[in-house]
Amino acid sequence: MQAGERVADPAEQHGVSAESIYDWLRQASGETIHLVLEYNKLKRENEELKRLIGELTLDMHQQKKSR
């Protein structure tokens, strides 16, 4: 589908109902939202793990210096 195109046009071209296209669009937008939320969650977890690695690395260096 092109921007501004009526749903009925591609529906007729491909032999499906306009309602089917609307259903597919709703499903696709729901999946997109789910993927964005999952991506953001993983990004936060990754940042937290990097922070922890940095802290542990500093602790290790401090322990080596104090020996």
Report how far residue 33's alpha carbon sits from residue 36's, in angstroms, rounded to the nearest whole number: 5
CB 18 within 8 A of CB 8: yes
Q: Average pLDDT, stretch 55-63?
A: 96
Q: Is the pTM of this model over 0.75?
A: no
Structure tokens at 49: 């793990």
Report how far residue 56's alpha carbon sits from residue 49's, in angstroms, rounded to the nearest whole number: 10
pLDDT 10s digits, 12-31: 989 999 999 899 888 988 88
Report how far residue 13's alpha carbon sits from residue 42's, in angstroms, rounded to the nearest whole number: 41
Between 44 and 28, name the one with better pLDDT. 44
Report how far residue 9's alpha carbon sits from residue 16's, in angstroms, rounded to the nearest whole number: 10
Whether residue 10 has pLDDT greater than 90: no
- Note the pLDDT of residue 1: 60
